[in-house]
Structure 1
Amino acid sequence: MNFSQPAADIHVPDGRSVAKALARTTHLCLAAHQDDIEIMAHQAIAACYGKQSAGFTGVVVTDGAGSPRTGKFAKFTDEEMKAERRAEQRRAAKLGKYAAVIQLAHPSAVVKDAKESRVTADLTAILRACGQLEAVYLHNPADKHDTHVAVFLRCLAALRSLPKSKRPKRVLGCEVWRNLDWLVDTDKVLLNDSARPALAAKLIGAFQSQIAGGKRYDLAIAGRRLANATFHTSHATDAANAVTWAMDLTPLIKDNKLSVEQFTLAHLDRLRSDVQARLQRFA
């Protein structure tokens, strides 16, 4: 496949052709940065691990140049950091037995420019090359990271450009830079990350440029998943020991005219009503 950025990178861990890897993909994660895939979509990675009947592919949209750095990475140039993060993402794909990992290498500024068509075009090409997708994992529209929200919008444009017969069965918006535990329970989608905990740790641990570079994602993600599981219900024992929360975005690809802003703010309205009703009930 040819993408718009010369530095775009495709890696198929088992050595198959790119066409075959994408054709067998059933679960797809479209993420902004290296390591976002492993934070967002462990449930899908674990579900596809080692299976011939299911395949997981991850796509990283940006080039990773803007990440914070300290310790042994403190003096890395942007070009050196991009190369390091690209290699780390490849290692994670091998550990997780992904069908493929594609790194599109777009600068964040390009992704954030709504007039730019290249990002959406690249994403559309990937989606068209995939088989029938069971689920697509995206950033959620209430995320507080600007690049994550911009990537989400480019992904949505690509999904909406597909014929309806080619669209995935389900699209989920996952928590990264804003937890989704604030969603009312009826709006929460529970992604059970309990399977293969050793693999989960190895996948996050593959990104040493972040962990040794000053961001302890290895501890934070394990802690958040456990906290989500524990604080899910107050009157029942835990059914899972690791949970990621997601928002069901499928309505946004079933109806191209559905406003993203109205769809997202409706979740906040339901939270407001829930808080108000509980206060009034016991006043």
Structure 2
Amino acid sequence: MTVVAMTMLSLPPALAAPACSIPASAQDTSFDYMGTRIDQHTGLPGSQSAYSYVTAVKIVDADGAPNAYHPKDMADECPDSGLGLDCLDAAGYPHGSWWQNVLAADPRAPDRPAIQRKGPFKGYFVSMTSLQNVEWGGPANPASYVDASATPYIVLPAPIYRTHGMGGMGDIGYAINLDNGRATPFVIADEGPVEPLGEASMAFWAALGEGAPNARNGEGLPPGRIAYMVFPHSRETTDIGWPIAPDRLKAEALRLLSAAGGEDALRGCAAQMAAPTMAQIDAGKIAG
């Protein structure tokens, strides 16, 4: 799993933010996770709940992409380029003990990763995501996982993922880059380690910037503070297909966002939150 982080400065908003306009029926509570304030909104129309947060921390995840990891990269210490989108060290292979959380095991030899035997990325390892549908093509088929290069997804750190009411794999949400105005729907597709909020797929960062970043070193990540709104349990009331259909993901995310007040509400509430940077977290300036 990729853990490339970029230090971002907290910049002033490009445009004046509207007022925080979460529907009056909502009941709001807040808590802190590693310096990031998370606002929980319950009692939204349709018995929907949501939570929102803002951070300038950005971490790139290439997991699930069919060309994420290649066996010939094993000798490299993680240069800026290689056959795989990311370095094998990020997958815990071959020296880590946790590679089976990232790479699918070979069904015929479970002590080693599966290698794709056909298709455009023949010879690459099969990279997994926590959100998966192995009935689609089997555990050693890239189509059974969420492609980080094609689908905008976020990664929930283990403490958040394992906290009641914070959502699960397949739940959806919406994010806005407060500094350039770009926005994207997303799905929760992976669980990460104990780390700050802000890890997301290459496609997520491409949607909020000018193109896909380099998963090996983080080059190309967009600047800006990112506002997120997540809709826990939305997987139970939405259908985004498999493989995930971009148009359906967007339509469902916008529908849920509208019930929470729309983009204006997210922008307005985000304006009330400080966005921690990776430098602050690393320097211990933020509790957590």
Q: TM-score range by the shorter chain?
A: under 0.3
Greater fraction strand? 2
Point out the structure with the larger helix share.
Answer: 1
The one of the two structures with greater contact order (alpha-carbon pairs below 8 A, sep at least 6) is 2
